[in-house]
C-alpha cells in the first residue's frame, strides 16, 4: 500500500509542479468551447434545443480528462527510455502494485485536469442546474479518468517508443470522442451511428457527467455508473497485467 501511495503522490507532484502543462492542456478545450460553443450555439438555439454551451461543456470536461489520462501512458515510455522505470521495477514491490499506483495517480491528475476544464466552462458561460449533484459528477469524472488512464497504461506498456502514440490518438482517442454524445445529442441519429454510440464507453462517461450537472440523464445514472465501473475494472486488470510483463 505504501508503494501505491508514493506513486500517487509522485504523479500529483509532477502535475502541480508543471503549470505550463496545466495551462497547455486547457488550450484544446478552450478552442472547442469558443469555436463550437459560440459558433454552433446560435444554430442550436434556433433549433429549439436550448443553450449549446450547457450541452457541450460536459463533453469538453470529458475531453480534457481523456487526453490527460491517455497521455499518462507516455510517461511509461519516457521512464523506460531514460532508465527511471528500471529503478522502480527493481524495488521489492509487486509490479501490480506499481501499476495500480501509477494508474491511480494518473487518474487523479486527469480528474484535476477535468476540474480545471469545468472551471473554464463556468467562466465561458456554463451553468450548473443542480449543485447538489456536483459530487456525483466528480465520482463520474474519477471513474472516467480511471478508465482512460488504464487504457493509457496498457498502451504505454506495449509500445516501445513515442512514435506510435500519435497513431493511438488519431485512431483510438479522437474517434471515441467524436463518436460519442460529447458534441451532439443521441436523438434522431442514423441507426448505425446510434449503435456505435451505445458501444462507446465515452458516451456513458459524458452522460454521467452531463446528467449530474443538469439532472437529466440520457440513460439511467445506475447504467452509466455500472458501465464505467465494469470497464474500468477490466481495463485496469489488463493494463496492470501488460505493465507486469514489461521487459527492460
211-235 residue pLDDT tens: 999 878 888 899 999 999 999 999 9
Position 91 scores a pLDDT of 65
Position 12 scores a pLDDT of 72
**Mean per-residue pLDDT for 47-63?**
82
Position 92 scores a pLDDT of 67
Summarised one tens digit per residue, pLDDT across range 179-196 is 888 888 877 777 778 788
Rounded Cα distance, 50 and 43, in Å: 10
Q: How many domains does the chain have?
A: 1
CB 128 within 8 A of CB 134: yes
The DSSP secondary structure of 13-76, one letter per residue, reads HHHHT-HHHHHHHTHHHHHHIIIIIIHTHHHHHHTT---HHHHHHHHHHHHHHHHHHHHHHHHH
For all residues of the chain together, what is the average pLDDT? 82
Position 48 scores a pLDDT of 58
Report the C-alpha dihedral over residues 220, 115, 199, 225, rounded to 10 degrees: -40
CB 83 within 8 A of CB 130: no
Position 71 scores a pLDDT of 83
**Mean per-residue pLDDT for 63-69?**
90
pTM for this one?
0.89
**Domain residue limits at 50:** 2-244
Helix (H) or strand (E) holding 150: helix 134-158
Amino acid at each position: 500500500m505504501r508503494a501505491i501511495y508514493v506513486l500517487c503522490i509522485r504523479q500529483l507532484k509532477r502535475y502541480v509542479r508543471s503549470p505550463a502543462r496545466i495551462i497547455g492542456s486547457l488550450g484544446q478545450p478552450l478552442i472547442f468551447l469558443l469555436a463550437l460553443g459560440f459558433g454552433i450555439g446560435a444554430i442550436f438555439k434556433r433549433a429549439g434545443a436550448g443553450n449549446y454551451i450547457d450541452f457541450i461543456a460536459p463533453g469538453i470536461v470529458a475531453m480534457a480528462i481523456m487526453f490527460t489520462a491517455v497521455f499518462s501512458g507516455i510517461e511509461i515510455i519516457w521512464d523506460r527510455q531514460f532508465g527511471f522505470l528500471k529503478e522502480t521495477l527493481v524495488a521489492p514491490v509487486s509490479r501490480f502494485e506499481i501499476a495500480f499506483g501509477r494508474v491511480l495517480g494518473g487518474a487523479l491528475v486527469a480528474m484535476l485536469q477535468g476540474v480545471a476544464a469545468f472551471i473554464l466552462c463556468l467562466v465561458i458561460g456554463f451553468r450548473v442546474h443542480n449543485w447538489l449533484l456536483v459530487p456525483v459528477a466528480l465520482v463520474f469524472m474519477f471513474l472516467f479518468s480511471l478508465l482512460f488512464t488504464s487504457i493509457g497504461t496498457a498502451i504505454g506498456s506495449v509500445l516501445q517508443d513515442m512514435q506510435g502514440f500519435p497513431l493511438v490518438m488519431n485512431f483510438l482517442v479522437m474517434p471515441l470522442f467524436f463518436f460519442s454524445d460529447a458534441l451532439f445529442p443521441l436523438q434522431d441519429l442514423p441507426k448505425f451511428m446510434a449503435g456505435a454510440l451505445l458501444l462507446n464507453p465515452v458516451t456513458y462517461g459524458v452522460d454521467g457527467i452531463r446528467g449530474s450537472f443538469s439532472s437529466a440523464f440520457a440513460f439511467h445514472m445506475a447504467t452509466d455508473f455500472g458501465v464505467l465501473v465494469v470497464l474500468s475494472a477490466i481495463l485496469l486488470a489488463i493494463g496492470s497485467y501488460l505493465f507486469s510483463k514489461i521487459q527492460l
